[in-house]
Structure 1
Amino acid sequence: MDSTTVIQVSRAPAPVQLARALLVLVAVSHLVTPMVMRAGQSALRDQIASQHPDFGAAEVRRSADIAVTSGAAFHGLLLVLCVVLAWKLATARPWTRRLATASQLLSVVFSVVSWSSSPMFHAVIPIIGAAQILIVALLWAPRPAREFFAKRR
């Protein structure tokens, strides 16, 4: 007697796949941001000097170094989080959708701080923010996405 085993693979629906792809793009932005900050450190020093004319050259340089280092750490954490979420969303576990939602919405809020502190990324912040809001919408609004995550409850 011949028996066959049927393995059913639950593939993520299109909205979840698109959200995962956008998370990868957001992750790339978190990779590039510290590199751009490092490459544009002289412009960053000029901005700090113009915003704080009472700072001496050493203090301006130290402030720029701190901004680049803290930016690299912050964006490094967000890079790892986005990559992990892009990978784990395919499991349809509800916590992955909640964490992706919270992290992307908080990133949009943090972008306001970046916007107000430096014009260095003004061209990119609205684009990345729109992608992050779209990620949230794709995970919650379309029926196939809601059903995908509801199966795991």
Structure 2
Amino acid sequence: MESPTPASRIPAPIQSARGLLVAVAISHLVVPAVMAAKPDALRAQIAARHPGFPAAEVARSADIAVASGAVFHGVLLVLCALLAWKLATGRPWTRRLATVSQLLSVVFSAVSWSTSPMFHAVIPAVGAAQILLVALLWAPRTARDFFAGR
């Protein structure tokens, strides 16, 4: 296993992208925690979207939403943390995986936006951070050189 490059040799754009990945990882920790902490709000949203659901079905749907959100965001949390660590190696696959995962995450956020207003305040900020971190991995010459030299 290749060890990360010393921090002093990692270009500033890559350092910034790694910091943004940590922030995005934290958001993936917070989302399921908020969903679990606000079950009444989640149930109210489900009931509003599906007025024909009986209370038991609304409760079951909310439980499924919390569990599936925890799994989905848990996987993304681990992926972001791994990428934040591995980007320091300068291996090209880490930049490609970070790019694909973050851009797909922006697309998935559109689904979250359309299904629940619970996170409307944070989705644009996290999406902007993800787009910025992808730009930091590809646009600056120092970033391109860092990955090209591996």
TM-score range for the pair, normalised by the shorter chain length? over 0.9
Amino acid at match of 1:22: L
Identify the residue that residue 3 of structure 1 maps to in structure 2: none
Q: Distance in 2 between matches of 1:73 and 1:47?
A: 21
Give the corresponding residue for 1:63: 61
Match of 2:110 among 105, 109, 112: 112
Percentage of pairs with the same residue: 76
d(CA) in 2 for partners of 1:133 and 1:28? 17
Larger radius of gyration: 1
Task: Pick the aligned partner of 1:133 from 131, 134, 140.
Answer: 131
Question: Is 2:45 the counterpart of 1:47?
Answer: yes
The question of whether the paired residues in 2 share the 8 Å contact of 1:139 and 1:145 is answered with yes
2:114 aligned with 1:100: no
CA deviation map 1:19-54 (0-9, x unaligned): 000000000000011000001111000010011011
- Segments of structure 2 that go 5 or more residues without pairing to the other structure are none
- The TM-score, its normalising length taken from structure 2, stands at 0.95
User: Which of the residues 20, 23, 26 maps onto 2:21?
Assistant: 23
Aligned residues: 145
* Equivalent residue number for residue 84 of structure 2: 86
- Consecutive unaligned residues of structure 1, counting only runs of 5 or more, are 1-7
Runs ≥4 residues deviating over 2 A: none
* CA displacement at 1:106 relative to structure 2: 0.2
Q: What TM-score, normalized by structure 1, do the two folds share?
A: 0.93
1:92 deviates by: 0.1
Residue number in structure 2 paired with 1:147: 145
Distance in 2 of aligned mates of 1:12 and 1:74 = 31
